[in-house]
Amino acid sequence: MELTFNAPPQRLGILLSGRGSNFLAIAGAIREGRLGGVEIAVVISNVAEAPGLAVARELGLPHEVFVSKGRKRAEHDADVLACLRAHRVDLVCLAGYMRLLTPEFIAAFPNRILNIHPSLLPAFPGLDAQQQAFDYGVQVAGCTVHLVDEHLDHGVIVLQRVIPVLETDDAHSLAERILAEEHVAYAEGIARVASGEYQVQGRRFVKRNASGR
């Protein structure tokens, strides 16, 4: 199936569960003019005490909490979806959002949900990807910005950034260096999708030519 991005998304909905360092990087890219025409419409957390939510409050951004603990996933996701729609969100960005999305959620934003993962997918999906990579003895590592589908860390790859694994690295230092790349990569990935100049062909995210094909 081929899907073309005809209408560039501009209003972002950020979902986070923790400190939201990638959210801060996105906000910084917008403030510095590296994401022209893009704005953060709302920041949503499933954890009331999430530090990223406090940062959103300090930045004066619209923010909401929908605590997920003890709730059925479908009910929780329905509330989040209603909030995103109320804020007229075009593109959803997961920024350390520690939940799997329901099929209904994904269907509401087809190819309009982005995630960033601290490995070169499809290698090392899931939790502790940096530790997995270090333990495996890889010589290069990095991060992946991808579209979200119904499978864990599986959707179409938008871009990847690669770094060498140094002899002096341990899992912690590797994770810190990958995080620095994430902060650059996520803004680049959003810019690619927001440009409207790309299309999905199978599992490939490709640039359209001058004729729009």
Q: What is the pLDDT of residues 45-66, one digit of tens each?
A: 999 999 999 999 999 999 999 9
- At 6 the pLDDT is 44
Which fold would CATH assign to domain 2-207?
Rossmann fold (3.40.50)
Could you tell me which residue, 183 or 9, shows the higher pLDDT?
183
Residue 145: closest CA among 194, 89, 209, 80:
194
Q: Which residue is listed with tokens 């605590």?
A: 67
Query: pTM (2 decimals)?
Result: 0.90
Which residue numbers are catalytic? 117
> What is residue 166's three-state secondary structure?
coil
Task: For residues 83-92, give the mean pLDDT.
Answer: 96
Residue 129: closest CA among 110, 143, 112, 115:
143
- At 8 the pLDDT is 55
pLDDT at 4 over 70: no
Q: How confident is the model at residue 106 (pLDDT cuts 50, 70, 90)?
A: very high
- Bridge partners for 15 per DSSP: 44, 94
Q: Alpha-carbon distance 120 to 143, whole Å?
A: 5
Residue 179: closest CA among 95, 118, 110:
118
- At 9 the pLDDT is 60
∠ CA 165-167-169 to the nearest 5 degrees?
65
End-to-end CA separation in angstroms for the chain: 14
